[in-house]
């Protein structure tokens, strides 16, 4: 992978992470309780959704 394509890929994944996190943050407390999640879990969940793991 070239430096430019690597940088583009990292930027795209970062943008996807931010979009995913923003979407998760719109959830209501009731929805989060139903899914057994807390607001503190959201960055980890967004990261796993985008980067795997």
pLDDT at residue 28 in the model: 96
Query: Which letter does DSSP use for residue 27 in this model?
Result: S
Report yes or no: 43 and 21 within 8 Å, Cβ to Cβ.
Answer: yes
Report yes or no: 17 and 9 within 8 Å, Cβ to Cβ.
Answer: no
The pTM of the full predicted model, rounded to 2 decimals, is: 0.87
Instruction: Return the axis-axis angle of helices 42-51 and 3-25, rounded to nearest 10°.
Output: 140
Which mean pLDDT values do the consecutive 10-residue runs of the chain (53 residues) have? 92 98 97 96 97 89
pLDDT at residue 53 in the model: 77
Q: CA–CA separation, 50 vs 53, rounded Å?
A: 9
Angle made by CA atoms 30, 34, 36, in degrees to the nearest 5: 110
pLDDT at residue 36 in the model: 96
């Amino acid at each position: 992978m070239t430096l430019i394509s690597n940088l583009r890929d990292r930027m795209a994944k970062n943008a996807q992470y931010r979009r995913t996190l923003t979407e998760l943050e719109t959830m209501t407390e009731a929805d989060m309780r139903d899914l057994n999640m807390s607001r503190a879990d959201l960055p980890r969940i967004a990261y796993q959704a985008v980067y795997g793991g």
